[in-house]
Chains A and B, each alone.
Chain A
Amino acid sequence: MGLLEYALIGGVLYGLFFGLVGIGLNLIFGVMRMINLAHGDLIMLGAFGAFWVYHLLGVSPMFGIPLEVIGFTIIGIPLYYLVVPRLLATRDPEMLSFILFFGLSQVIEASAVLGFGNNQRSVPGSTLGGGSVVIAGQSFPFAWVVAAGVSVVAILALYAYLYHSRFGYATRAIMANRDEAQTAGINVHRISAAAFVAGFCLAGLAGVFAPYMLGAIDPNMGVDLTTVSFAIVVIGSLGQPLGTVIGGLVYGIATMLMQTYLPSWSNLLPYVLLIAIVLVKPSGLLGRRVRYA
């Protein structure tokens, strides 16, 4: 029984974190109908931010969070205005943005390899307060609990923003119908830019905890993270930010169960889950409808 309990509780902690990993991707998709293929690379940058804050300044990686929010805002806003309006005007924004963000992911990955070196790095778990926490008779690293807690706070904050603020109402109006939102007098580009930057920052925030949850980090980890994020987002349904939490939990618990009982096949899991969900219920677990080809 011990193993099962460990896998389930660990899966919930892990899954809450993975909800945070996927949510930025989903927010950007929901508002702009664009797949940010550089999402995993932004998480990687966030992780390296935490690593350098710890190594150069010698302080807890948590101090990296405000720095990263500032950094991603400074990068995100010009990038939005440079790229998104132009893409939205093309004949096939979804596909072309997919390719463009793929290019961006290559640029980030290559720059990271050049800048940080092609080595694996890690941050000791003690930097978030060492020791372990006992939940239902099972002990887990304290860092996992912190990461899960911050994920919950971040997701609740996004929820409050979307459902209880004027900007949030406007954001959801754009998600529902961009043209009508514009006709209703909403400054579509300003709201979208805010969502774009928020998506970047959420990726960076997830990255801060990546060294604790994923073990070592390296500049090439972005592609896998993008695929996993996409799997999580699709499980929860694209364009539904809160569904991502469910997607993260499904992924987290399934991963933990696989690692406990079938470790050699566990790396197949996100891909198989993704294909299965996409084929059986492309709209995701919470989805309303999806555009078929």
Chain B
Amino acid sequence: MRRGLWVESALVLVVVGLGFALSPFLYGNESLLFSMMAYVALAQGLNIAYGFTGYLPFGYVGFFGSGAYGTALAIMFLHAPPIAAVVGGGLLAVIFGIVLAPLLRLSGAYFAIANLAASQALYFVVANPHLSNITQGPYGIKLTSVFAPTESYATLWVIVLLATAVAIYLRVSRFGLALRAINQDAQSAEVAGVNVVRGRLVAWLLSALVAGLAGGAYGWHISVFYPHSVFTLRISIFAIVFVLFGGAGTVIGPIIGAVLLYGLYDVIGISTPEYFQLIYGLLIIALVLFLPNGLLSLVRKRVRYVL
């Protein structure tokens, strides 16, 4: 690890940690802060897959939804304490990730669409009325008996820091370097002794874990939700746009993207979602054409190394 990066890494963790720990005292809209935090975690988790291995998980929301439903089922049927249930939700997402691991054989767009199809299929299974004695089908989940806004906020806070720490690890470690080598040229990396299959799989499952944990904490926090509210494609889309906007493959890019754009969404998106959709559609087009490496690529020209 490069000297000096310890300081930068610690600084990022402290800023993110203090930011989300103190902001509820400064700003009253806790549900906005909570959603923003969930998107920071999701963007960072998606960045772990897309930024470091090049696989764009279009169905990333599938992991988020599995986490929310896994947590809910653990609370309802196993009567697990909520924090343990959130961990269980994360593990369910990892299992879903293992099931989908064969998709990693596919390249680029094939992978993205197959993953999207998988998340839609999962959504239709969860929402199917025939399974309503397990998942409650389309009627939704109620976890009001364990409703605890402060504890669930703290849980998500820990998850965000965890996701950030994983991203930092990938950014500075040998393993992260190996992943970037795989991303650039898998065959050469293989020849150089990198275990390509294992590298991709580990990053993929870490990414699934982050989304699953975030989904679990989210489900616990809002405590009443429907299949559509945790499986909507919009969640994948937001996470992708936030990562692209900030800069994939960096640590702070997804954080900046999620905070800025989700803040913008909160200002104009909730009242007039179509205008927001229009703006971020145009934003995506402009990003791909003019700034394919995200906002941070502007800074990178001046500063030698951006975390």
Against A, the Cβ 8 Å flags (1 = close, 0 = not) of B112-131 are 11101110110011001110
A275 to B117, CA, bound (A): 7
Whether B292 and A90, one on each chain, are in contact in the complex, defined by CB atoms closer than 8 angstroms, is yes
A274 and B284 in contact, given A95-B56, A96-B292 (Cβ under 8 angstroms): no
- Contact for B285 among A90, A98, A104, CB less than 8 A: A104
**Chain B residues numbered 232-258 whose CB sits less than 8 Å from any CB in chain A:** 233, 237, 240, 244
Most chain A beta carbons < 10 A, residue from B106, B109, B112, B244 = B109
**Chain A residues numbered 69-113 whose CB sits less than 8 Å from any CB in chain B:** 83, 86-87, 90, 92, 94-100, 102-111, 113
A272 to B118, CA, bound (A): 8
Chain A residues within an 8 Å CB radius of B292: 90, 96
How many residues of chain B have a CB within 8 Å of chain A? 44
Asked if B111 is at the interface of the complex by the 8 Å CB criterion, the answer is yes
Nearest A residue to B293 by beta-carbon distance?
A91
CB distance from A228 to the nearest CB of B (A): 10
Whether A94 and B109, one on each chain, are in contact in the complex, defined by CB atoms closer than 8 angstroms, is yes
Asked if B303 is at the interface of the complex by the 8 Å CB criterion, the answer is no
- Contact for A278 among B110, B125, B129, B283, CB less than 8 A: B110
**Chain A residues numbered 238-273 whose CB sits less than 8 Å from any CB in chain B:** 264-265, 267-268, 270-272
Chain A residues within an 8 Å CB radius of B277: 106-107, 109-110, 113
Nearest B residue to A112 by beta-carbon distance?
B274
Asked if B289 is at the interface of the complex by the 8 Å CB criterion, the answer is yes
Whether B288 and A99, one on each chain, are in contact in the complex, defined by CB atoms closer than 8 angstroms, is yes
Chain A residues within an 8 Å CB radius of B283: 103
Asked if A293 is at the interface of the complex by the 8 Å CB criterion, the answer is yes
Asked if A231 is at the interface of the complex by the 8 Å CB criterion, the answer is yes
A108 to B108, CA, bound (A): 24
State the main secondary structure of chain B at its contact with A: helix
Chain A residues within an 8 Å CB radius of B118: 271, 275
Nearest A residue to B116 by beta-carbon distance?
A227
A278 and B109 in contact, given A99-B288, A100-B284, A264-B128 (Cβ under 8 angstroms): no
Whether B289 and A100, one on each chain, are in contact in the complex, defined by CB atoms closer than 8 angstroms, is yes
A282 to B118, CA, bound (A): 15
- Contact for B114 among A102, A104, A106, A274, CB less than 8 A: A274
Whether A96 and B278, one on each chain, are in contact in the complex, defined by CB atoms closer than 8 angstroms, is no
State the main secondary structure of chain A at its contact with B: helix
Whether B114 and A111, one on each chain, are in contact in the complex, defined by CB atoms closer than 8 angstroms, is no
Whether A105 and B281, one on each chain, are in contact in the complex, defined by CB atoms closer than 8 angstroms, is yes
A279 to B102, CA, bound (A): 7
Chain B residues within an 8 Å CB radius of A134: none
Asked if B12 is at the interface of the complex by the 8 Å CB criterion, the answer is no
Chain B residues within an 8 Å CB radius of A96: 288, 292
Nearest A residue to B286 by beta-carbon distance?
A103
Chain B residues within an 8 Å CB radius of A274: 113-114, 117
A133 to B203, CA, bound (A): 56
A271 and B121 in contact, given A106-B278, A114-B278, A292-B106 (Cβ under 8 angstroms): yes
A227 and B117 in contact, given A90-B292, A98-B109 (Cβ under 8 angstroms): yes
Whether B278 and A110, one on each chain, are in contact in the complex, defined by CB atoms closer than 8 angstroms, is yes
Asked if A193 is at the interface of the complex by the 8 Å CB criterion, the answer is no
Chain B residues within an 8 Å CB radius of A98: 56, 108-109, 112
Asked if A35 is at the interface of the complex by the 8 Å CB criterion, the answer is yes
Chain B residues within an 8 Å CB radius of A230: 113
Chain B residues within an 8 Å CB radius of A267: 124
**Chain B residues numbered 250-294 whose CB sits less than 8 Å from any CB in chain A:** 274-275, 277-278, 280-285, 287-289, 292
A270 and B117 in contact, given A94-B109, A223-B233 (Cβ under 8 angstroms): yes
Asked if B2 is at the interface of the complex by the 8 Å CB criterion, the answer is no
Residues of B whose CB lies within 8 Å of any CB of A are: 54, 56, 102-114, 116-118, 120-121, 124-125, 128-130, 186, 233, 237, 240, 244, 274-275, 277-278, 280-285, 287-289, 292
- Interchain Cβ contacts under 8 Å between A and B, 29 examples: A95-B56, A95-B112, A98-B56, A98-B112, A100-B285, A100-B288, A103-B280, A103-B281, A104-B281, A104-B285, A106-B280, A109-B277, A110-B278, A113-B277, A223-B233, A230-B113, A231-B117, A264-B129, A265-B128, A271-B121, A272-B117, A274-B113, A274-B117, A275-B117, A275-B118, A278-B110, A282-B106, A292-B106, A293-B186
Residues of A whose CB lies within 8 Å of any CB of B are: 35, 83, 86-87, 90, 92, 94-100, 102-111, 113-114, 223, 227, 230-231, 234, 264-265, 267-268, 270-272, 274-275, 278-279, 282, 290-293
